[in-house]
Amino acid sequence: MTWSAVERRARTVPDGPVTRSGGDDGLLLRGLVTDSRRVVPGCLFACVRGAASDGHRWAGAAARAGAAALLADRPVDLALPTLSVPSVRARLGPLGALLAGDPADALDLVGVTGSNGKTTTSTLVGGVLEAGGTCTGVVGTLGARVGIRTRRTPLTTPEAPELHELLRWMVDAGARRAVVEASSIALDMGRIDGLRFGVAVFTGFEEDHLDHHGTIEHYWASKARLFERDRSAAAVVVVDDPWGRRLAEQAPVPVTRVGTSEDADVRVLGWRTGAAGTEVLLGDDTGGHRVSSPLVGRVHVTNLAAAWATGRALGVPADAIAAGLAATTPPRGRNTVLGGSGRPVVVVDYAHTPRALAAAVATARDLCGPGGRLHLVLGARGRRDRYKRQGLGESARAADVVWLTNEGSHGEDPAAIIGELRIGLLGGGAAVRTVPDRRAAIHAAVRAAGPADVVLVVGRGHETRLLDTTDPRDAVHLDDAEVATTALIVEHGPPTRAPAGEDELAS
């Protein structure tokens, strides 16, 4: 892309003057980069101000690595063509799109946001759209994929230049639709700027990420940005909590309401769930529909309903939606069920907020056999949302035995984190054990569990790296599902009988 084209796109952001210094109109730029370690010859290096580092300090390193020009919002003493702007971050989306060839123009986009359920709902919507006959990419917490191709991503929603590069990769692979998880932090920091979504999906809301947002209203406002008229054409909103109802009432775009209430456009009429999966009875303006999924747990009922509503909003036939939901493999670390067949059941889940934990505990309780007990392996992430810890302890009271452990202290004192969780458990009836080593805690819980029991391991889900310092290089490999699988074999041996059937229909 030419230097003059970059300048023209930069001027479309209405926040003040743009000044270009150096460089011919025809200077060719190859990509937009925000990390000096990823610079390739001929790229435009964006000097982004971050929480821990200022990209302007790394402009020299970028120049030495071959950057052809700079995007800056303060003076940089380098002999490189420079575009000086009021805010570098505000232009990452528009310029990232331009330098990737505006891939979103070739895609119908779906955005998914919410405190819990984004990854599962994004996966389900991707499956529905594929079943409808359209090659569909998905970008989110578990990485990016299109067809059988996958790429790792460091963030739920990548920085804007990386996100547009992924969309280009998807278009080149044949995708015509894409589903993007939109985190509140990404919305707050402009990572999805330059994108417009055909449908935006809201899965629910509770306090989270207040270490970044400061207040729950700021957190809410960040989520609500996805539903502004210039970002989305239509919305699918789960209205089973007050925040969802508020969004459905305030959104300036057409809204499909999803939930259990009588005024829902897509209404959950009944459901059942067990180790074999979940079945949901839905009602909409075309009548009743029964859908099945291998996903386990009541928490996924509204995720399935939201995916159904999104498919209908995008014109996918009902039978294709049902087929897509039935065929979609559960995302890793979202109520992943292990064991059974004469051994305890182990459930590995990402639940890391009080309400998500309460839902995970309820799901695990549903899977207990007659007289079975629920063992919960619980920790809390260091340097993140400290205010949630007592709430997690309160939700944990519903278990029979709680095994308090480390979840990655990130430089905090692990014993202090465990102490805060323990405060929330005060007054409850659960027996509490403290095993700081996470691997040992999972083994101890599995060892103590009987054939009718369930061991619920929460907090990390799909994650495979555990960090106890502030240096990412110190992270060690620890996959909760791997540890649990090993513990089942060591403590209880291989399976000996078939798994139990599904539970009764709930409504």
Selection from 221, 219, 212, 102 nearest residue 160 by Cα: 102
Q: Which CATH number fits domain 103-327: 3.90.1150.10, 3.40.1190.10, 3.50.50.60, 3.30.540.10?
A: 3.40.1190.10
Report how far residue 202's alpha carbon sits from residue 128's, in angstroms, rounded to the nearest whole number. 17
**Integer CA distances (angstroms), 212 to 50, 204, 218, in order:** 13, 19, 10
CB 342 within 8 A of CB 272: no
Question: What is the rounded end-to-end Cα distance, in angstroms, of the chain?
Answer: 57
- Percentages helix, strand, coil for the chain (3-state, rounded to 5) are 35, 20, 40
User: Does 211 have pLDDT greater than 80?
Assistant: no
pLDDT in tens, 450-491: 999 999 999 999 999 999 999 989 999 999 999 999 999 999
Domain ranges of the chain: 3-90, 103-327, 336-491
Instruction: State pTM to two decimals.
Output: 0.90
User: Does 73 have pLDDT greater than 50?
Assistant: yes
Q: The tokens 């209205």 sit on which residue? A: 239
**Integer CA distances (angstroms), 126 to 210, 292, 416, 466, 504, in order:** 30, 16, 41, 29, 29
C-beta atoms surrounding 327 within 10 Å: 13
What is the percent of the chain where pLDDT is above 70? 96
Annotated binding site: 36, 156-157, 183, 191
Architecture of domain 336-491: Alpha-Beta Complex (3.90)
Fold of 3-90: 3.40.1390
What is the percent of the chain where pLDDT is above 90? 82
CB 202 within 8 A of CB 218: no
- Predicted pLDDT at 209: 58
pLDDT in tens, 291-338: 999 999 988 999 999 999 999 999 999 999 999 999 999 899 998 999
pLDDT in tens, 399-409: 999 999 999 99
